[in-house]
Copies of this chain bind each other. A is one copy, B any other.
Amino acid sequence: MCIAGGTLDKMGKTASDDWSMTTGGRLPAIDIPAHSHIFFEGDERRTLYLVESGWVKLYRTLIDGQRQVVGFANAGSVLGLESDGEHVNSCEAITPVKVRTIPIARLPEMFARDPIFSEQILRQVGRQLGAAQAQLAAVGVQSAEQKLATFLLSVSRLCDACEYGEFDLPMRRGDMAEFLGLRLETVSRKMSEFQRRGWIRMTSLYNCQLVNREALEDLAEGAEILPPAIRQAG
**CB of A153, distance to nearest CB on chain B (Å):** 15
CB-based contact B43/A126 at 8 Å: no
- Size of chain A's interface in residues, with CB distance under 8 A? 65
CB-based contact B71/A133 at 8 Å: yes
Question: Known contacts A108-B115, A126-B125; is A136 also within 8 Å of B70 by CB?
Answer: yes
**CB of A88, distance to nearest CB on chain B (Å):** 5
Is A226 an interface position by the 8 A CB rule? yes
CB-based contact B63/A221 at 8 Å: yes
A38 — which chain B residues lie within 8 A by C-beta? none
Is A105 an interface position by the 8 A CB rule? no
Q: Mark A114-135, 1 if CB is under 8 A from B, else 0.
A: 0100110111011111101111
Given A63-B226, A70-B136, output 4 extra A-B contacts at Cβ < 8 Å: A63-B223, A64-B222, A90-B231, A111-B115
A-B contacts, 23 of them at CB < 8 A, read A42-B227, A42-B229, A62-B137, A62-B222, A62-B224, A62-B226, A63-B221, A63-B224, A66-B141, A68-B141, A71-B133, A81-B125, A83-B126, A84-B127, A84-B130, A89-B133, A90-B231, A107-B119, A108-B119, A111-B118, A112-B115, A129-B129, A140-B180
